[in-house]
Amino acid sequence: MLAIRRQGGRSSLPPGRCRLPHQYNEKSSTICLKYGSRSFKTHQPANDSRTTPQSSKQPESGHPLLKKYKITHPAITKYLNWKPSSSPPQSRPTLDLPALDRKWGAVWEKNRGKTIRAENINGDFSQSEFVYNKKGLRYIVPMFPYPSGDLHLGHLRVYTISDVIARYWRLKGYDVIHPIGWDAFGLPAENAAIERGIDPAIWTYQNIEKMKGQLKSMNGEWDWDKELATCDPDFYKHTQTLFLLLHVNGLAYQAKSMVNYDPVDQTVLANEQVDSDGKSWRSGAQVEKRMLKQWFFKISDFRQELLDDLDGLDWPERIKSMQKNWLGKSEGAKIKFGITAFKHKSIPDVEVFTTRPDTLYGVQYLALAATHPLVQTLAAEDTNLQTFLTELPNMPPESKMGYLLPDVRATNPLAFEKATPDATKASLPIYVASYVLSDYGEGAVMGVPGHDTRDHAFWKCNRPDDPVRVVVAAPAQDVPAVPHVPFIQPGQLTSHSGPLAGLSSSKAAQEILRILTKHGRGEAAETWRLRDWLISRQRYWGTPIPIIHCSSCGAVPVPEEDLPVKLPQVSEHWAKGRSGNPLESAHDWINTPCPKCGQAAKRDTDTMDTFVDSSWYYMRYVDVNNETMMINPRIANTHLPVDIYIGGVEHAILHLLYARFISKFLAATELWPFGQLPMIRGEPFQTVLAQGMVHGKTYTDPSTGRFLKSAEVELQKSSPIITATGQAPLVSFQKMSKSKYNGVDPSTCISKYGADATRAHILFQAPVSEVLEWDENKIAGVTRWMRRLYDHLHEWRAEAGFLGLECKFGFTRNTAASGWRFIRSNGEMGMTRVLQDTPQAFGNRFASTPKNYFISFAIDDDKPLSHPGLVEPHQFVESLRLENARKGNHPETGREVLYPLLMDLAKEGNRESKKLWRAVQETIRSTTASYESGHSLNTVVSDLMSLTNAMIDYPGGELGPQDRWIHYHAAMNLVRMMAPICPAFAEECWHLITYVRPGLKHRLWSFAGTSNFRLISPFRETSVFHYPYPTEDGTLEMLTPDTLKCSVQVNGKLRCVVEFDQPESILKGEALEDWVVKGVLDSPEWKDKVGQKVNVREAKKTIVVKGGKLVNFVM
């Protein structure tokens, strides 16, 4: 807006108007025209009779308003023709992002834990201090890391996402719990101890200290007072309590089982820890099958709840699908096949489970697992079978080799029906097959080659000359469309199904079940893939199982007062580099009296699977110092469940499933009473964010397929070249591993580019749930954005002073007006800002927020609002008119001329301000949605980049104080929106635009959307994190763009994008079409690119879409 100051004696203003900062002297008048960066003075002696009117002069060329209003006044002419200086900006400090990390990290550490307070500006400041508003709680937990010694990029990604979301919710006014801990037990530490000859505890705690430093270097904000480590006896004491709770409730039991044994790590693995190739997930060794006595958790008792409650969770669909598949509920039938053994007197029936009883007429063989009782019985006398069983574990999982059991046949239960076809009545061969799982159904399957892919492949491998029987086909045909491919969909039974031919699969299944049930040969049933959780591990570095084995009393729980059962010191074991479980030879530890009878007994030497620790650690965070209980029920009710849980998709099955099981169990105890509420259902995590993996750039030699080290590739050129051969390598992005030489050390990247740029790059490169292809070269785009913003804020600070809120402004008492005003310290008169005690000091048109300003402009459009504390344009016009009336010079500066000129200038500034403020509001809306969903944090960075561009393009420096004021608010909003992602850089920018040197009374009247509060810092320099996240102020719908961008198509093909005046809302139908067509044809973009080639007036049809945002000319 326009600001006018007069220097001299008293001014003659209407009563009630705001006094000018300086007075007018009738003997010598100096008019100072101030608008934005434009400031010009004109001296007119009052008694100079030689002054003659200049109205007859032709207007100077330049600003169009000169010609429109025929302005010749030299001060106004010079003012309107003013342009910002093209000289380079003043010297500014270099943006050193790593240095900002160190600077603000030290400030945060110094002021950690200090209370943030707020003051209400609408009352007595001294009496209205209160604690910052807590809207509620947010419990945000990232999956805790294993302390291997170094954070990798996968860690950095998950903890960046977690920290950004936690910071956002803190800025929204929530009391956020954001803890970190260490999943510290496990085989890697034990193996490292054997290699190094040191205690695994020493190695583990050294790594924890190192990784803590790395976490702090990434500018993360953690609740370190809640830190825990699962190897700490204070933690695993309560893990042992959990075991005993399960044991007393019948959910922890010991049983003999055929287990997966890792011969390298010498420990048992759960089924989930064996990959599809039958190898250990840790060592990569081929897993062996052994019969051992093991401890299990009875997770199967909770399987229906675990399945049913998935639908109510705010989890990614793919994770819920993975959980459902692992639970593996199948509905079908149990069917008994009679067994005939020519060399055995009596063999019990073999029971199979099938989900397709409608294919029973098509059974051509039975297949048994190696552990099936019939196989074990026959193996005692069959040496060939014994040999096959020995070789079976070494066969690949996809192997279709089978062993035909001699002298043993099976009978289809439908064979006893008279109408059954003869082919179905024939006896069936029985095979031992590697593809049959011992824990699916009863370890036996009925082979239907015509309607199952695996059965078909097995049959063709073992009985290639025998035909495949097809008993189900697509409707209206008796054979499948592809003869050599099994028909696996439900359909219609064929003639091979005897009396049921023609029935649909569903009706046939019901009829077959009726027949089987009638004769006691089958029944409807369900089966689950999920098996009870095997938790025993024959290793040292884990939570000891709190059970004592007594020859008289059996397995006796360790009394609660004797917990924790601590791991013994076995230094000699590590020093000699021995393998195996050292607990078995720790005689002083293993031998102990029985708690029941007092006789000699032995401790259990197994330790628990580390998944037991991670199944409940998130509960311990909120009550980490409780020595007597796992968690206080009151605290559990207050903080659980976790609001947002963040981690890698690779943990989507095991960890999340086990955590849900333990959580549901504890919700059924007194430890978490509210866990039974219908809206919680014992679920541990309300929302799960599963981020994708991080892949590294990989170079491969095309001639050999060998992975190349970075030193073997010349990367300085436009495209990489293999140094030795000059060939171009194959470039791909693959999972990071040492063997592929594509790993990246996050610490190196942070030290080079700074934590904030690294964080922003990680988020910007890919949506949270997608794979991140790490390319360090692309981080330049992020640093360039930060540099442009930093430079822009420096330039505005230097030129505009951000409305005087900077340290180089002096401070003085203004006796002419109530309040304070700032002037430049070098004495040069600059922009004046008066900070009053009450808004009423500026009249009814005081705009405390941008929203009020735009509302005022819309309501009273003929009176553009000036900045608070500045003389309004109509006051200047009136005083200038009176002056000219006395002197008789420059009549064009009278009210009837100058006031419309000021109005045009004000509208020009208002138009640009609306455009910028609309961009601010759109960014607040979009970033808020992205932060709160958590899935699209990459769009937050892109939105902030777009707003930065809008601020840089904003011509506020050429406009007026009110427009600078809008820019100031836009800058503050932008910095607050980027603070969760770039905390140190945001702090620096915030300091740059808001810092007031010590001693000044600093009152920020408002922030967009938060005008009821002014927040103060407990220390001198305010922090951006002491101010709330911006909220929409309701102006977005009000600030309709003055122009409309329209995509122009010809016959559906985009030809150009044009911009023209926004059509009035009342235009509809043909009137709107005419407006849009005229706007398109008149636009320079159309004339330059398309108009000479296409005559749209000959178009057969014109289609206007979305109110003119798109138009299609059909020629």
Report the distance separating Cα 952 and Cα 788, nearest Å: 8
Q: Of the residues 504, 527, 550, which one is the last residue of a structural domain?
A: 527
- Tell me, what DSSP letter sits at residue 1008? T
Sheet holding 38-45, edge to edge: 3-7, 28-35, 38-45
pLDDT value at 171 more than 60: yes
State the residue for tokens 């601010």.
920
- Say which amino acid occupies 409: R
Mark whether 843 and 960 lie in a shared domain: yes
pLDDT digits (tens, 9 = 90+) for 917-928: 888 999 999 999
Q: Report which of 751, 761, 766, 752 is spatially closest to residue 784, judged by C-alpha positions.
A: 761
- Per-residue pLDDT band for 966 (boundaries 50, 70, 90) equals confident
Window from 661-665, 746-750, 938-942, 1033-1037 with minimum mean pLDDT: 1033-1037
- Per-residue pLDDT band for 1 (boundaries 50, 70, 90) equals very low
Who contacts 231 (Cβ-Cβ below 8 Å, separation ≥6)?
A: 182, 184, 185, 201, 204, 541
Domain annotation covers residue 1077:
yes
Averaged over 707-733, what is the pLDDT?
A: 74
Backbone angles phi, psi at 227, to 5 degrees: -60, 140
- Per-residue pLDDT band for 739 (boundaries 50, 70, 90) equals low
pLDDT value at 32 more than 50: no
Q: Could you tell me the two tokens for 1071?
A: 């009137």
Distance, C-alpha 556 to centroid of its chain: 46
**Which of the pair, 582 or 116, is modelled with greater confidence?**
582
State the residue for tokens 């924890």.
208
407, containing H or E segment? strand 402-411
Report the distance separating Cα 795 and Cα 971, nearest Å: 13
> Cβ(59)–Cβ(66) under 8 Å?
yes
pLDDT for the residue numbered 748: 85
Domain annotation covers residue 5:
no
Domain annotation covers residue 350:
yes
Mark whether 982 and 909 lie in a shared domain: yes
Cα separations in angstroms, 910 against 77, 461, 845, 1038: 22, 81, 16, 13
- Per-residue pLDDT band for 1064 (boundaries 50, 70, 90) equals low
375: three-class secondary structure by DSSP: helix
pLDDT value at 612 more than 80: yes
Distance, C-alpha 829 to centroid of its chain: 50
pLDDT digits (tens, 9 = 90+) for 550-561: 988 999 999 999
pLDDT value at 18 more than 50: no
- Per-residue pLDDT band for 978 (boundaries 50, 70, 90) equals very high
Cα separations in angstroms, 597 against 212, 548, 587: 47, 12, 20
Which of 552-555's residues contact partners 24+ apart within 8 Å by CB, and which partners? 552/594, 552/597, 552/599, 553/594, 553/596, 553/597, 553/601, 555/254, 555/604
How many other CB atoms sit within 10 Å of the CB of residue 712? 16
Angle between helix 779-800 and helix 961-978 axes, rounded to 10 deg = 150
Residues, the chain: 1115
**Which of the pair, 382 or 129, is modelled with greater confidence?**
382
The residue range of the domain holding 1080 is 1043-1114
Domain annotation covers residue 430:
yes
- Per-residue pLDDT band for 716 (boundaries 50, 70, 90) equals low
pLDDT value at 1001 more than 60: no
663: three-class secondary structure by DSSP: helix
Mark whether 425 and 494 lie in a shared domain: yes
Mark whether 394 and 422 lie in a shared domain: yes
pLDDT for the residue numbered 482: 56
Bridge partners (DSSP) listed for residue 564: none
> Cβ(899)–Cβ(4) under 8 Å?
no
pLDDT for the residue numbered 599: 92
pLDDT for the residue numbered 614: 94
451, burial (CB in 10 Å: exposed 0-12, middle 13-18, buried 19+): buried
Q: Of the residues 1013, 1036, 1059, which one is the last residue of a structural domain?
A: 1036
Mark whether 920 and 1020 lie in a shared domain: yes
431, containing H or E segment? strand 428-433
Q: Could you tell me the two tokens for 935?
A: 């899935």
pLDDT value at 118 more than 80: no
pLDDT for the residue numbered 863: 41
Mark whether 673 and 761 lie in a shared domain: no
First and final C-alpha spacing in the chain: 49
Report the distance separating Cα 675 and Cα 1047, nearest Å: 54
- Say which amino acid occupies 146: Y
Q: Report which of 708, 732, 734 is spatially closest to residue 722, judged by C-alpha positions.
A: 708
- Per-residue pLDDT band for 1101 (boundaries 50, 70, 90) equals confident
* Percentage of the residues of the chain whose pLDDT score is greater than 90: 30
> Cβ(604)–Cβ(549) under 8 Å?
yes
Please name the residue ranges forming H helices in 723-811.
746-753, 755-764, 779-800
- Tell me, what DSSP letter sits at residue 845? T
122: three-class secondary structure by DSSP: coil
Q: Of the residues 1010, 1036, 1062, which one is the last residue of a structural domain?
A: 1036
CATH number at residue 272: 3.40.50.620
pLDDT value at 379 more than 50: yes
> What is the pTM for the complete model shown?
0.75
Q: Could you tell me the two tokens for 47?
A: 């008694």
Bridge partners (DSSP) listed for residue 431: 367, 404
Domain annotation covers residue 1073:
yes
Window from 68-72, 180-184, 463-467, 1111-1115 with minimum mean pLDDT: 68-72
Mark whether 412 and 559 lie in a shared domain: no
**Which of the pair, 939 or 480, is modelled with greater confidence?**
939
Please name the residue ranges forming H helices in 566-626.
571-575, 587-590, 610-614, 617-620
How many other CB atoms sit within 10 Å of the CB of residue 657? 23
Tally of structural domains, the chain: 6
pLDDT digits (tens, 9 = 90+) for 623-675: 999 989 999 999 999 899 999 999 988 888 889 999 999 999 999 999 999 98
Averaged over 296-319, what is the pLDDT?
A: 92
> Cβ(403)–Cβ(384) under 8 Å?
yes
**Which of the pair, 738 or 163, is modelled with greater confidence?**
163
State the residue for tokens 């798109």.
1110
- Sign, CA dihedral 587-589-595-598, equals positive
pLDDT for the residue numbered 841: 29
pLDDT value at 59 more than 50: no
Mark whether 278 and 377 lie in a shared domain: no
Mark whether 901 and 923 lie in a shared domain: yes
Report the distance separating Cα 608 and Cα 629, nearest Å: 20
pLDDT value at 57 more than 60: no
- Say which amino acid occupies 759: R
pLDDT for the residue numbered 335: 92
Count of alpha carbons within 13 Å of 582, Cβ hemisphere only?
23
Mark whether 218 and 190 lie in a shared domain: yes
- HEC profile for 269-306? ECHHHECCCCEECCCCCECEEEEEEEEEECHHHHHHHH
Who contacts 810 (Cβ-Cβ below 8 Å, separation ≥6)?
A: 822, 823, 824, 825
pLDDT digits (tens, 9 = 90+) for 214-258: 898 899 899 999 999 999 999 999 999 999 999 999 999 998 877
State the residue for tokens 């509920």.
329
Domain annotation covers residue 589:
yes
Domain annotation covers residue 216:
yes
**Which of the pair, 583 or 1102, is modelled with greater confidence?**
583
CATH number at residue 1092: 3.10.20.590
- Per-residue pLDDT band for 13 (boundaries 50, 70, 90) equals very low
Report the distance separating Cα 505 and Cα 490, nearest Å: 6
> Cβ(758)–Cβ(749) under 8 Å?
yes
Which of the given ranges, 17-21, 87-91, 144-148, has the highest pLDDT on average?
Answer: 144-148
Domain annotation covers residue 36:
no
pLDDT digits (tens, 9 = 90+) for 887-910: 445 444 444 555 555 555 555 556
CATH number at residue 432: 3.90.740.10
Looking only at Cα atoms, what is the longest distance across the chain? 140
pLDDT for the residue numbered 21: 31
Mark whether 601 and 554 lie in a shared domain: yes
How many other CB atoms sit within 10 Å of the CB of residue 344? 14
Mark whether 718 and 625 lie in a shared domain: no
Angle between helix 983-994 and helix 779-800 axes, rounded to 10 deg = 10
Which of the given ranges, 21-35, 462-476, 901-915, has the highest pLDDT on average?
Answer: 462-476
Bridge partners (DSSP) listed for residue 835: 820
564 cis-preceded (ω within 30 degrees of 0): yes
- Per-residue pLDDT band for 880 (boundaries 50, 70, 90) equals very low
Report the distance separating Cα 693 and Cα 426, nearest Å: 54
Q: Could you tell me the two tokens for 996?
A: 């007031």
pLDDT digits (tens, 9 = 90+) for 489-527: 898 898 888 889 889 999 999 999 999 998 889 999 888
CATH number at residue 922: 1.10.730.10
> Cβ(371)–Cβ(258) under 8 Å?
yes
Return mean pLDDT, the chain.
76
Cα separations in angstroms, 973 against 793, 947, 1027: 13, 10, 10
